[in-house]
A and B are shown apart, each in its own frame.
Chain A
Amino acid sequence: MDVTAHAFKENAARALSDSQLQRALAGLPGGLVAQRTAARAKLPEFEALRDIGRDIKNHTLAHLDLYLEAWEKKAREAGTIVHWAPTAAGAREIILGICREANARLVTKGKSMISEEVGLNAHLEAAGIEVVETDLGEYLVQIRKETPSHIIAPAIHLTQTQVEADFRRRHTHLPRDRVLVEAPQLVNEARLILREKFLAADVGITGANFLIAETGSSVIVTNEGNGDLTQSLAKVHIVVASIEKVIPTLADLAALIRLLPRSATGQEISTYVTLSTGPRRPGDPDGPEACHVVVLDNGRSALLDTPFREALRCIRCGACMNHCPVYGAVGGHAYGFVYPGPIGAVINPAIIGLKEAHHLPNASTFCGRCESVCPVKIPLPNLMREWRTKEFATGGGSLATRLGLGIWRFLARRPKLYHLTTRLGIAALSALGRRRGRFRWLPLAGGWTRHRDMPAPQARTFQQLWAEHRAGVPR
């Protein structure tokens, strides 16, 4: 995919003036956010489960090599062919090789963010293979030649009107005067078109929400059933999964599926949770004849001995982006790489490099909502700050930012001078702004005042007020 994370500022400015996008994003607070809140209220144990989710993932990550080996052993016993891909390019080659061996002309896909991460579709298409996304949201994004703007709701940036226009433009073999007014009519049209693809596919590719070491299984969590048709009707099933998807046991799965759907869509459980183990068994009348799992690293193992290990706990529910004021304002495409929102701001720099992605960890107000809803309690603001520190330490950031931070650091290390400077500064600003109560323009603060007024400060600093309070001065 084209990575545009370096252009986050321009992307964000465009997104803010895109009225269709703004209309689509306006649905988030009353939709996914409200649904999660309601689901959480219905399960009193939810907060305790978040601690358990965190602990399961921490334990697994600390023994990741051993759990991957244990999973592989069981998977092989069940007949799964396991492939190891250190890089995105490696994963693409392995999957293309499997498709070629199967003489595949048509590949159906269930939703997989890992396949987006490695740029799988373009690679298969370049080799002459037709690739069809079957998750409805992914299909919409594919026919528009776009990328997903959300990890669980890929087409969340689109309105129903846009979908109707796309279907009319794309499905030209259908009668022009057909009625496509209601969402079910659109869903049905996609259903009929994709059904033919499921039935004709040679290879079906899905992602994995989890790999279970105890049983050698891969697990997908879905609502549409497309991932199941993808993997049950094609002759060959390929699973693409990253290393951190492994969990120890079925008991761990039970705990984590109490967290994932509630955090993601606010459902008590998603309609389908599917554990797949190996190919069809002797005597089975259906199911794939071969089952491959491609295990991808792509920069993740390099995080294990850093503070970013905590980000590998992520179970990809999307709650952090649903609750993020920045995501809610600019949507997912502005982030310029596969993973948007707070989790993207933390893991994209590890995958595509800090030079490309340096804006992302800076695009946060550190309000902390992401961390407060994360089902596995990833300290997202802290980790974004880690990237900011790294950026500063390696000479990143604009000259003005570096200079400003340098001055601030100089003062912050000298408390007396800091208090004196702020006291004088606040007093001066207060005197200057007393008449209007706000500033329309301030030197060095154009980035703020171009978009909104800066309120004039009170005459005294917090430190002064606190000192007076302690001395018993009445306010």
Chain B
Amino acid sequence: MTGSEDRRRQMLDRIRSALDDGTPQHVREARVRERLGGASPHLVPERARGGAAEMRAIFTEHLAAQSATVVSVASAAEVPAAVAGYLRGNNLPMRLRLGGDARLSALPWSREPALTLERGAARADDEVALSHAASAVAETGTLILASGPDNPVTLNFLPDTHIVVVDAQSLKGHYEAALEAARQHMGATGLPRTLNFISGPSRSADIGGKPVLGAHGPRRLCVIIVG
């Protein structure tokens, strides 16, 4: 390990000496501590600073423009019917993969007996996944998902269809607010393994510059807003 420690020292020393303009090291350190300690937002776009109704409209509009389907329900109890309706409407299998999220587990699934629910990480042959978003951002129609046993990360990318439930109350205007919520939620343990910003189905324009949906990740993204 001495070799690797030497390399580290060598790289940092080179950077430090190249940056040395006579500023005392403790002054530089204080600046960095200050920046890391009190991260204040830079310029937040005006479009991200409106009231709840306006933010919801912008969120929906962006997601739709980014080829996602948006469904609104008045209460969580209506989610199973919305899920079943979306799957039937798109002629998709009535079989869902989801994690252990308590908000999803508490839903009245028995009202939709045609639906089969399976728990755990995604498998290669899963066709539909269901997740609960940690929050969402209106300014660009973006869902924020936190990985873990509640919402395994593979659900976001492996199945062809991804359905994401998001509480209207967790919808923020801008990235800064959503990231601040994530930071507070995580507390001292830091961020989860992955924090995924998702703003539509997977796409690629690598063949002749034409956008095509479903490059590697989901071909379809359905967002169910609750409340």
* Residue ranges of A at the interface with B (Cβ–Cβ < 8 Å): 24, 27, 31-32, 43-45, 48-49, 52, 56, 59, 62-70, 74, 77-78, 83-86, 90, 134-137, 140, 153-156, 158-160, 163, 183-184, 186-188, 191, 194-195, 198-199, 213-217, 223-226, 228-229, 231-233, 243, 248-255, 257-258, 265, 268-281, 283-287, 295, 297, 301-302, 304-305
Residues of chain B within 8 A of A254, CB atoms compared: 41-42, 174-176, 179
Within the assembled complex, what's the spacing in Å between the Cα atoms of A257 and B175? 9
B198 touches A251 (CB 8 A): no
Which parts of B117-133 form the interface with A (CB within 8 Å)? 120-122, 124
Which residues from B are CB-within-8-Å of A224? Answer: 202-204, 206, 215-217
B121 touches which of A70, A135, A269, A285 (Cβ 8 Å)? A285
In the assembled complex, which residues on chain A have CB atoms less than 8 Å from the CB atom of B19?
62-65, 304-305
Counting chain B CB atoms within 10 Å of each CB, the highest count among A216, A272, A283 belongs to A272
Q: How far is the CB of B123 from chain A (nearest CB, A)?
A: 9
User: Cβ of B36 and Cβ of A86 under 8 Å apart?
Assistant: no
- Check if B39 sits within 8 Å of A271, measured CB to CB: no
In the complex, A158→B7 CA distance in Å? 41
- Establish whether residues A248 and B31, one from each chain, have CB atoms under 8 Å apart when the complex forms: no
A261 to B127, CA, bound (A): 29
Contact A232 B190 (CB under 8 A): no
Give the interface centre of B43, B141, B205 by most chain A CB atoms within 10 Å: B205
B92 at the interface (CB under 8 A from A): no
Chain B CB within 10 Å, residue with most, of A67, A254, A301: A254
Chain A residues, Cβ within 8 Å of B218: 225
B45 interfacial by beta-carbon distance below 8 Å: yes
Contacting A at CB under 8 A, from B183-227, are 183, 190-210, 212-218
Minimum CB–CB distance from B157 to chain A (whole Å) comes to: 5
A284–B196 Cα distance when bound, in Å, is: 15
Q: Are A271 and B193 in contact (CB under 8 A)?
A: no
Across the interface, do A283 and B29 meet the contact criterion of CB distance under 8 Å? no
Q: Do B152 and A70 have beta carbons less than 8 Å apart? A: no
Task: Give per-residue flags for B14-36: 1 if the beta carbon is below 8 A from chain A beta carbons, else 0.
Answer: 11101100000000110110011
CB pair B192–A217 under 8 Å, yes or no, is no
Q: With A and B bound together, what is the CA distance between A449 and B154 in angstroms? A: 61
Inside 8 A of A305's CB, which chain B residues have their CB? Answer: 18-19
Cross-chain contact A285 with B194 (CB below 8 angstroms): no
CB of A109, distance to nearest CB on chain B (Å): 13
**Contact partners of B120 in chain A: CB under 8 A:** 285
Which residues on the A side are within 8 Å of B15 (C-beta)?
64-65, 68, 243, 297, 301, 304
When each residue 22-64 of chain B gets 1 if its CB lies under 8 Å from chain A and 0 otherwise, what string results?
A: 0000001101100110011111011100000000000000100
Known: A184-B212, A277-B191. A136 touches B99 (CB 8 A): no
For B183, what are the chain A residues with a Cβ–Cβ distance below 8 Å?
A: 250
Q: Is the beta-carbon distance between A74 and B190 smaller than 8 angstroms?
A: yes
Stretch at the interface among B72-80, B105-113, B142-150: B142-150
B193–A287 CB distance below 8 A: yes
B208→A86 contact, CB < 8 A: no
> Closest approach, in angstroms, between the C-beta of A80 and any C-beta of chain B?
10
Query: Nearest B residue to A228 by beta-carbon distance?
Result: B157
Contact of B158 among A31, A77, A229 (CB under 8 A): A229
Contact between B190 and A77, CB atoms less than 8 A apart: yes
Cβ-defined partner of A232 (8 Å) among B14, B39, B153, B198: B153
CB of B66 within 8 A of chain A?
yes
Chain A residue numbers with a CB within 8 Å of B156 are: 228
Residue in contact with B194 in the complex, picked from A136, A248, A287, CB distance below 8 Å: A287
Evaluate contact between A271 and B198: CB separation under 8 angstroms.
Answer: yes
- Would you call B147 and A287 a contact (CB within 8 A)? yes
Knowing A84-B7, A225-B215, A272-B197, say if A45 contacts B191 (CB, 8 Å): no
The smallest C-beta distance from A298 to any residue of chain B, in angstroms, reads 10
Contact of B149 among A199, A226, A284 (CB under 8 A): A284
Q: In the complex, what residue of chain B is closest to A154 when comparing beta carbons?
A: B206
Bound form: Cα–Cα A50–B43 in Å = 11
Q: Are B176 and A251 in contact (CB under 8 A)?
A: yes
Pick the most buried of B10, B15, B207: most chain A CB atoms within 10 A of its CB: B207
Contact-size category for B = 35 or more
Q: Which of A154, A188, A275 has the most CB of B within 10 A?
A: A275
Q: Does B103 make an interface contact (CB < 8 A)?
A: no
Cα A86 to Cα B201 in complex, Å, equals 39
Contact, CB under 8 Å: A249 / B39: yes
> Are B32 and A90 in touch, CB under 8 angstroms?
no
Q: Which 10 A-B pairs have the closest CB atoms?
A: A225-B217, A137-B206, A273-B197, A304-B18, A224-B215, A160-B208, A249-B39, A286-B121, A254-B175, A136-B206
Assess whether A213 is in contact with B36, with CB atoms less than 8 Å apart.
yes
CA A366 – CA B183 in complex, angstroms? 45
Give, as a whole number of angstroms, the nearest-CB distance from A79 to chain B: 9
If A59-B35, A155-B206 touch, whether A272 touches B196 (CB-CB below 8 Å) is yes
List 13 A–B pairs whose Cβ atoms lie within 8 Å, in order of A's numbering.
Answer: A62-B28, A65-B19, A68-B12, A77-B190, A84-B7, A136-B216, A187-B204, A188-B214, A224-B203, A226-B216, A248-B39, A279-B193, A285-B149
Residues of B within 8 A of A56 (CB): 42
B208 nearest in chain A by CB position:
A160
Flag whether B91 is at the interface (Cβ < 8 A): no
Contact status B153-A269, CB under 8 Å: no
For residue B161, CB closer than 8 A to chain A, the reply is: no
Q: Which residue of B lies closest to A139 (CB)?
A: B206
The listed residue with most A CB atoms (<10 A of its CB), out of B198, B216, B218, is B216
A43 and B197: CB pair below 8 A? no
Partner of A284 from the list B36, B147, B197 (CB cut-off 8 Å) is B147
Chain B's nearest CB lies how many Å from the CB of A17? Answer: 22
B201 lies within 8 A of A271 (CB): yes
**In the bound complex, CA of A159 to CA of B215 (Å):** 18
CA distance A207 to B147 in the complex (A): 20
The CA of A349 and the CA of B197, in the complex, are separated in Å by: 36
Cβ-defined contact, B204 with A301, below 8 A: no
Chain A, Cβ-Cβ closest to B176 = A254
Smallest CB separation, A289 vs chain B (Å):
11
B135 at the interface (CB under 8 A from A): no
Q: How far is the CA of A229 from the CA of B7 in the complex (A)?
A: 31
A272 to B41, CA, bound (A): 22
Closest to A63 in B: B32
